[in-house]
Amino acid sequence: MKKNSKRLGSQFERDIARLLSAWILGKDIENKEEVKNIKLVVWRVGSSGSVATINKQQNMHGDIVAVDEIAIPVLEKFNFEVKRRKNFNLFSILNNEKKLDELFSWFMQARIDDYIPILILKVMYVGWYAITDISSVYKLKCFCYDLPQHIRLMLNGKTLVVFDLIDFLKWSYRYVKVLVKDKNLT
The domains of the chain are located at 3-179
pLDDT score of 163: 95
Reported as a single tens digit per residue, the pLDDT across 20-39 is 999 999 999 999 999 999 99
DSSP assignment of 5-39 equals HHHHHHHHHHHHHHHHHHHHTT--TT-HHHHHTPP
pTM, rounded to two decimals? 0.85
DSSP at 180: T
Which backbone phi and psi does 113 adopt, to 5 degrees?
40, -125
Confidence band of 56 (pLDDT split at 50, 70, 90)? very low
Reported as a single tens digit per residue, the pLDDT across 85-132 is 887 777 767 777 777 788 888 999 999 888 999 999 998 888 999 999
* Mean pLDDT, range 163-178, rounded to an integer: 91
Q: Half-sphere exposure of residue 10, counting CA atoms within 13 Å on the CB side?
A: 12
How distant is the alpha carbon of residue 123 from its chain centre? 14
